[in-house]
Amino acid sequence: MIRFLLKGLLRDPNRSRLPILVVTAGVTLSVFAYCYINGVLGDMVEFSANYSSGHVKIMTRAYAENKHQVPNDLALLDVSRLRQRLKTDYPEMVFEERINFGGLLDAPDAHGETKKQGVVLGIAADLIHSDSKELDRLNLRNSLRQGRFPETPDEVLLSDEFAHKLGVEPGDRVTLISSTMYGSMSIVNFVVSGTIDFGVQMMDRSGMIADISGIQAALDMDDACGELLGFLPTTHYNDAAALEVETSFNQNYSDGDDVFSPVMIRLRNDSLMAGYFDFMDGVVGIIVSIFILAMSVVLWNTGLIGGLRRYGEVGLRLAMGEGKGHIYRSMIGEAVLIGLTGSALGTLIGLGFSYWLQEVGIDISSVMKDTKMMIPTVFRAHITSTAYYLGFIPGLFSMVLGTLLSGIGIYKRQTASLFKELEN
C-alpha cells in the first residue's frame, strides 16, 4: 500500500510538489526560528555566566549564605591547592578566581591632596597573564573607551562616567581605601590605565576592574578569593552537565558542619538567575508555539486545498466502485508521506542554516560600536536535540489534519449523482 501511494506521488508531481514545497518551507522556518531564539537567549545567559556567575560557582558555605554582602572575610583560602585538585578531578573545565570588593576611591590633585572622592564597586580578575581569557570573558575589549588594559598589578580600569566624576584620565593615580580580609584598613595606590563603559547603571556610576593579584595584595588576601567561577567546555550552558559537576563536587569537597568548607552552586540555582531561566523557558515556549501555530494554519490550508482540488478524482474513483473508506485512508496515507517528506527536508535545511549561524554568527559590532551596553556583539543560533523533531509537529500533524477535514466530504458524496457531476 505504501509503495503504491509513493509511486502515485512520484508519477504525478502536480499532486505532491506544491504541498511538499509548502511543508518544507514552513518546517525550515520553524526549525530555524527555534534555533535562533534559543541561541540569542542562550548567549544572554552565557554573558551573565562569564560576567558574574560562571557555569558553576565555588564559595565557602558562610560566604554563600551572605554573598549579597560580599563578605571577603569569609573568602576561600588556599585557592592554588584547591585549583590543582579541581584540575585533576575536572580536567575539561576552566576555573577562574574572582574578588568583588568595595570602598572609597580618592583622586588626589597635583599636590597629593584629595581632589574628589567616590564610593567604588570593584571586580578583580586575572587581566595581565597572557593565557588568561578574562578580558574576552568579561567582554572588556568591546567596552574600552580610553587608554589601554592593565599590564601590571597596580593598574586598574574605571568606568568612563566614574573617571569623569573624579576628574581623572588614563595615567593618573588614584587611592583605594578599603578593608582587608581581616578587617583592618587598607590604603593602596593604583594607576588608571583606561576607562570602559559597563552598560549597567550601578557599575557606570562607580565601577572599577582590577587585576586580581593587585587586589589580593591590597586586601591582604594572599592565595584567597571570594569566588571561584567554573566554566564547562560547552559553548552554551548545559544544566545537566553542571548538575553532575555540582553534585560530585559537593559530595567530595563540601562539609555541612564546616561553614568555611567550599560549596558549589550551579548557574541555574543562583538566586539571580533562577527566575531568568524560568522566564526564558516561558518566552521560548510562547514564541515557538505561536510560530508553530501560524505555520500549522498555513499547512492545514494546504492540505485542505489539496483535498478540494481532487474533488473530481475522488468522484471518478467512487464511480468506478472504490469504497469511500479506502479512498479516505489512501488520502490520509498520502498526506502522511507528504508530511514526512516535507518535514524531513525542512528539518535538514533548517538545521543547515542554524548550523551556519551557530558557527559563524551575525556580527553586530559595527552597529553596536557606540552603545554603552556590555552585551554580546555576535548573535548565534544554538542547535539542541529538540530541533531535530520540532519541525515534524507542524509539518506532519497539520498536513494530516487538513486532509482529514477535507476528506470528510467523501462520505457526503451521493453515488447516484456522480456521473452528473463528472459531466459538469
Would you say residue 266 lies in a domain?
no
Q: How confident is the model at residue 143 (pLDDT cuts 50, 70, 90)?
A: confident
Does position 339 have pLDDT exceeding 80, yes or no? yes
Q: How confident is the model at residue 240 (pLDDT cuts 50, 70, 90)?
A: confident
Would you say residue 82 lies in a domain?
yes
Same domain, residue pair 172 and 292: no
Q: How confident is the model at residue 380 (pLDDT cuts 50, 70, 90)?
A: confident
Do 41 and 29 contact (CB within 8 A), yes or no? no
Same domain, residue pair 214 and 282: no
Does position 348 have pLDDT exceeding 90, yes or no? yes
- Longest alpha-carbon distance in the chain: 111
Whole-structure pTM over 0.85, yes or no?
no
Would you say residue 271 lies in a domain?
no
In this structure, of 79-93, 153-167, 338-352, 384-398, the range with the lowest mean pLDDT score is: 384-398
How large a percentage of the chain has pLDDT more than 90? Answer: 34
Average pLDDT over residues 219-237: 90
Task: Determine phi and psi for 95, rounding to 5 degrees.
Answer: -120, 130
Same domain, residue pair 227 and 340: no
In this structure, of 28-37, 339-348, 359-368, 415-424, the range with the lowest mean pLDDT score is: 415-424
Q: How confident is the model at residue 174 (pLDDT cuts 50, 70, 90)?
A: very high
State pLDDT tens for residues 265-276.
998 887 566 666
> In the beta sheet, which residues pair with residue 228?
58, 97
Does position 190 have pLDDT exceeding 80, yes or no? yes
Does position 127 have pLDDT exceeding 60, yes or no? yes
Same domain, residue pair 76 and 124: yes
Residue-averaged pLDDT of the chain: 82
Would you say residue 239 lies in a domain?
no
Task: Determine phi and psi for 81, rounding to 5 degrees.
Answer: -70, -40
Does position 424 have pLDDT exceeding 60, yes or no? no
- Domain end, chosen from 199, 231, 263, is at 231
Predicted pLDDT of residue 8: 54
Same domain, residue pair 82 and 23: no
Would you say residue 241 lies in a domain?
no
Same domain, residue pair 154 and 184: yes
Same domain, residue pair 205 and 149: yes
Q: How confident is the model at residue 197 (pLDDT cuts 50, 70, 90)?
A: confident
Beta carbons within 8 Å of 277's beta carbon, 6+ residues apart: 45, 268
Does 3 or 318 have the greater pLDDT score?
318
Q: Which residue has the cell 580610553?
A: 146
State pLDDT tens for residues 252-311.
998 888 889 999 999 888 756 666 666 666 766 676 677 667 766 776 666 566 656 666
Do 389 and 27 contact (CB within 8 A), yes or no? no
Does position 5 have pLDDT exceeding 70, yes or no? no
- Residue by residue, DSSP assigns 51-117 as III-SEEEEEHHHHHTGGG--GGG-EESHHHHHHHHHHH-TT-EEEEEEEEEEEEEEE-TTSSEEEE
- Domain end, chosen from 167, 199, 231, is at 231
Same domain, residue pair 25 and 82: no
Q: How confident is the model at residue 396 (pLDDT cuts 50, 70, 90)?
A: confident
Q: How confident is the model at residue 244 (pLDDT cuts 50, 70, 90)?
A: very high
Do 60 and 75 contact (CB within 8 A), yes or no? yes
Predicted pLDDT of residue 112: 80
How many domains is the chain partitioned into structurally? 2
Which of the given ranges, 4-8, 141-145, 359-363, 418-422, has the highest pLDDT on average?
Answer: 141-145
Distance between CA atoms of 190 and 181, rounded to whole angstroms?
Answer: 19
Alpha-carbon distances of 187 from 135, 176, 218, 381, rounded to whole Å: 26, 6, 8, 47
Q: How confident is the model at residue 142 (pLDDT cuts 50, 70, 90)?
A: confident
Same domain, residue pair 363 and 225: no
Does position 218 have pLDDT exceeding 60, yes or no? yes
State pLDDT tens for residues 14-44.
566 777 788 888 888 888 888 888 887 777 7
- Domain end, chosen from 198, 231, 264, is at 231
Alpha-carbon distances of 53 from 97, 192, 270, 273, rounded to whole Å: 12, 26, 8, 9
Same domain, residue pair 370 and 415: yes
Provide the residue range defining the domain that includes 76: 56-231
Predicted pLDDT of residue 310: 64
Would you say residue 75 lies in a domain?
yes
Same domain, residue pair 136 and 214: yes
Predicted pLDDT of residue 305: 66
Would you say residue 246 lies in a domain?
no
Would you say residue 104 lies in a domain?
yes
Same domain, residue pair 312 and 218: no
